[in-house]
């Protein structure tokens, strides 16, 4: 930066000594908040337009400032801008540069505003577009998940509770469960728009201003729906940051759950899925290994996203109103969580395209652990007018019998079954069939092939 009298802190008339070098280096946030340059310039342009509209600054000054700001934006986007830690943050770096470009009239830009409202205006605009970006990736994930579900409507696998065989399900149904989660994630992000759509600009440091500003005008021009209602709350509020971090945490938690399942299914013990070589890595010592590192990466990243949510909650806990430097960390946290989630979404989409179910193994596993016992109990209720509890007990006796004989339910003879429940007829044998079991779960939301097909069609139609 060229040497001139502006090459000094804005407050140098009041604060005589230069800021300690150490503080300048550590307290400066420019390396992080430079990511907000576009939002900051957009906010400043609308702000000076409003100042002119309200006759607070002249036409000439407004135009000069806008000219300077646009020049700065070009410089930054072309990587020609030299940031200076001495000016702390993106707001001061831009203001200082404006002085260099247009001279003393740059001094009008900060009329009726403070960095306190400026920074949250920038951050809200940034989070709004980040939210849209995340939702684009979530749409891709939903599409890929539906695709793999559609290919596996009739792929049979054991449904687990406690990771023990529970009842047979369709692999398609399992994937569609995650579609529900990702759809909820989308909605959770969209719900945040309500508070993100309130414009902070114009509350100044904490009190509002004596200038006759038009906050509705700046709000509308910047894409907000209305201005915030209380100046003190506005500069103190970071709830919108928490909402964003929470939504990211929940989404990354969903990804970590499916990641964990895929890791288990890919283990040699389960061997239910195969991962293509594209998404595994080798070992430095064990030549035979193909490890699901990328999926583990997904599972692990909840550490970052949850941690960031807790960092922000902790920063805000007990913090008096209104602005404190403590809050400056919000941006580093938000950017880190966002980058982490975007990476996870990209990787997860790639993983989905590189999984092949081991259908034979899935079926074999589903065909063990007396997995259709509940179907037998249901059958007894429906066909032999038993209460469910009585049918449950009878079925447990039959399972005990099969276990003692080291037989599967499908291997039991009708004569053996009759010894335990004389009313039984040949007809009962079909309830042990796994596919029959899956297909019988026709209640809304259940795992029958027909249900899944319908749900997939529905989601493909209206997204
Ligand atoms: N860089 C600051 C932050 O991100 C901007 C607000 C500074 N306000 C102040 N009163 N020091 O929080």
pLDDT digits (tens, 9 = 90+) for 106-165: 999 999 999 999 999 999 999 999 999 999 999 999 999 999 999 999 999 999 999 999
Q: Which pair of structure tokens corresponds to residue 417?
A: 């079954």
Measure the CA–CA gap between 148 and 132, rounded to whole angstroms.
Answer: 25
pLDDT over 50 at 210, yes or no? yes
pLDDT over 80 at 269, yes or no? yes
Using most ligand atoms within 8 A of CB, pick from 11, 119, 205 the residue to mutate for ligand 1. Answer: 119
Q: What percent of the chain lies above the pLDDT cut of 90?
A: 90
Is the shortest distance between the CB of 119 and ligand 1 below 6 Å? yes
- Every domain of the chain with CATH number 1.20.200.10 lies at 116-151+178-201+229-358
Which pLDDT value is given to residue 2? 40
> Contact, 124 vs 222, CB < 8 A?
no
Question: 301 C-alpha to center of ligand 1: Å?
Answer: 29
Position 11 confidence tier, pLDDT thresholds 50, 70, 90: confident
Name which of 97-106, 288-297, 309-318 the model is least confident about.
288-297
Which pLDDT value is given to residue 274? 95
Q: What percent of the chain lies above the pLDDT cut of 70?
A: 98
From atom 3 of ligand 1, which residue's Cα is the shortest distance away?
A: 328
User: What does pTM read for this prediction?
Assistant: 0.94
Position 15 confidence tier, pLDDT thresholds 50, 70, 90: confident
Fold of the domain built from segment(s) 116-151+178-201+229-358:
Fumarase C; Chain A, domain 2 (1.20.200)
Which pLDDT value is given to residue 6? 64
Position 463 confidence tier, pLDDT thresholds 50, 70, 90: low
pLDDT over 70 at 3, yes or no? no
Ligand 1 atom nearest 114 alpha carbon: 8
Check if 283 is active-site.
Answer: yes
Measure the CA–CA gap between 434 and 373, rounded to whole angstroms.
Answer: 11
Which pLDDT value is given to residue 352? 96
Which pLDDT value is given to residue 321? 96
**Better-scored residue on pLDDT, 48 or 23:** 48
Alpha helices in 267-325 (DSSP H): 293-300, 302-316
> Contact, 73 vs 41, CB < 8 A?
yes
From atom 11 of ligand 1, which residue's Cα is the shortest distance away?
A: 325
Question: 203 C-alpha to center of ligand 1: Å?
Answer: 14
> Contact, 351 vs 276, CB < 8 A?
no
pLDDT over 90 at 19, yes or no? no
Fold of the domain built from segment(s) 21-111:
Fumarase C; Chain B, domain 1 (1.10.275)
Ligand 1 atom nearest 90 alpha carbon: 1
Measure the CA–CA gap between 268 and 275, rounded to whole angstroms.
Answer: 12
Question: 105 C-alpha to center of ligand 1: Å?
Answer: 23
Which pLDDT value is given to residue 366? 94
What class does CATH assign to 365-461? mainly alpha
Backbone angles phi, psi at 226, to 5 degrees: -160, 165
Position 428 confidence tier, pLDDT thresholds 50, 70, 90: very high
129, 283, 368, 387: which is the annotated catalytic residue? 283
One-character DSSP codes across 156-171: EEEEEETTEEEEEEEH
Is the shortest distance between the CB of 228 and ligand 1 below 6 Å? no
pLDDT over 70 at 384, yes or no? yes
* Residue in 356, 344, 354, 364 with CA at minimum distance from that of residue 302: 344
Is the shortest distance between the CB of 334 and ligand 1 below 6 Å? no
Question: 119 C-alpha to center of ligand 1: Å?
Answer: 7
Alpha helices in 78-211 (DSSP H): 90-102, 115-151, 171-191, 193-196
Is the shortest distance between the CB of 89 and ligand 1 below 6 Å? yes
Q: Which pair of structure tokens corresponds to residue 253?
A: 């938690």
Question: 305 C-alpha to center of ligand 1: Å?
Answer: 24
From atom 4 of ligand 1, which residue's Cα is the shortest distance away?
A: 328
Helix, strand, coil: what percent of the chain each, to 5? 65, 5, 30
pLDDT over 50 at 1, yes or no? no
Is the shortest distance between the CB of 243 and ligand 1 below 6 Å? no
Ligand 1 atom nearest 323 alpha carbon: 10
- Every domain of the chain with CATH number 1.10.275.10 lies at 21-111
Question: 156 C-alpha to center of ligand 1: Å?
Answer: 57
Ligand 1 atom nearest 205 alpha carbon: 10
pLDDT, tens only, 390-420: 999 999 999 999 999 999 999 999 999 999 9
**Better-scored residue on pLDDT, 63 or 11:** 63
Residue linked to tokens 């602005």: 323
Measure the CA–CA gap between 244 and 338, rounded to whole angstroms.
Answer: 9
Q: Which pair of structure tokens corresponds to residue 136?
A: 């684009």
- Every domain of the chain with CATH number 1.10.40.30 lies at 365-461
Once rounded to an integer, what is the mean pLDDT over residues 278-297? 90
Position 462 confidence tier, pLDDT thresholds 50, 70, 90: confident
Name which of 20-24, 182-186, 195-199 the model is least confident about.
20-24
Once rounded to an integer, what is the mean pLDDT over residues 210-228? 98
């Amino acid at each position: 930066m060229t040497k001139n009298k502006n090459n000094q802190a804005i407050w140098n008339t009041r604060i005589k000594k230069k800021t300690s070098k150490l503080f300048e280096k550590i307290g400066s946030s420019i390396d992080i908040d430079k990511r907000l340059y576009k939002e900051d310039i957009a906010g400043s342009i609308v702000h000076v337009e409003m100042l002119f509209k309200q006759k607070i600054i002249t036409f000439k000054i407004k135009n000069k400032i806008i000219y300077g700001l646009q020049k700065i934006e070009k410089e930054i986007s072309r990587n020609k801008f030299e940031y200076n830690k001495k000016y702390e943050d993106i707001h001061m770096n831009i203001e200082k540069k404006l002085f260099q470009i247009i001279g003393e009239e740059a001094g009008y830009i900060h009329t009726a505003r403070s960095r306190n409202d400026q920074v949250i205006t920038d951050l809200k605009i940034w989070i709004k577009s980040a939210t849209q970006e995340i939702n684009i990736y979530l749409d891709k994930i939903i599409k890929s998940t539906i695709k793999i579900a559609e290919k596996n409507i009739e792929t049979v696998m054991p449904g687990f509770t406690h990771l023990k065989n529970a009842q047979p399900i369709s692999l398609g149904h399992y994937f569609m469960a995650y579609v529900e989660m990702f759809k909820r994630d989308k909605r959770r992000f969209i719900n945040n728009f309500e508070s993100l759509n309130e414009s902070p600009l114009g509350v100044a440091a904490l009190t509002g201003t004596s200038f006759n500003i038009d906050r509705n005008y700046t709000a509308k021009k910047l894409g907000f729906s209305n201005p915030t209602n209380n100046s003190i709350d506005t500069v103190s509020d970071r709830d919108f940051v928490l909402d964003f971090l929470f939504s990211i945490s929940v989404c990354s938690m969903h990804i970590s759950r499916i990641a964990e399942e895929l890791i288990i299914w890919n283990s040699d013990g389960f061997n239910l899925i195969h991962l293509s070589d594209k998404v595994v890595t080798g070992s430095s010592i064990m030549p035979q290994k193909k490890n699901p590192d990328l999926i583990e990466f997904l599972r692990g990243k909840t550490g970052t996203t949850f941690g960031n949510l807790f960092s922000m909650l902790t920063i805000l806990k007990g913090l008096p109103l209104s602005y404190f430097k403590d809050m400056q960390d919000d941006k580093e946290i938000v950017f880190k969580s966002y980058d982490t989630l975007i990476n996870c979404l990209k990787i997860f989409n790639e993983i989905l395209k590189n999984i092949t179910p081991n259908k034979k193994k899935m079926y074999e596993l589903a065909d063990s652990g007396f997995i259709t016992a509940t179907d037998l109990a249901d059958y007894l209720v429906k066909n032999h007018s038993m209460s469910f509890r009585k049918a449950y007990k009878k079925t447990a006796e039959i399972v005990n019998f099969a276990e003692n004989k080291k037989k599967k339910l499908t291997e039991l003879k009708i004569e053996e079954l009759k010894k335990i429940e004389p009313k039984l007829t040949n007809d009962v044998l079909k309830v042990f069939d796994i596919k029959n079991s899956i297909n019988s779960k026709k209640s809304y939301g259940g795992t029958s092939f027909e249900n899944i097909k319908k749900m997939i069609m529905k989601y493909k139609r209206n997204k």
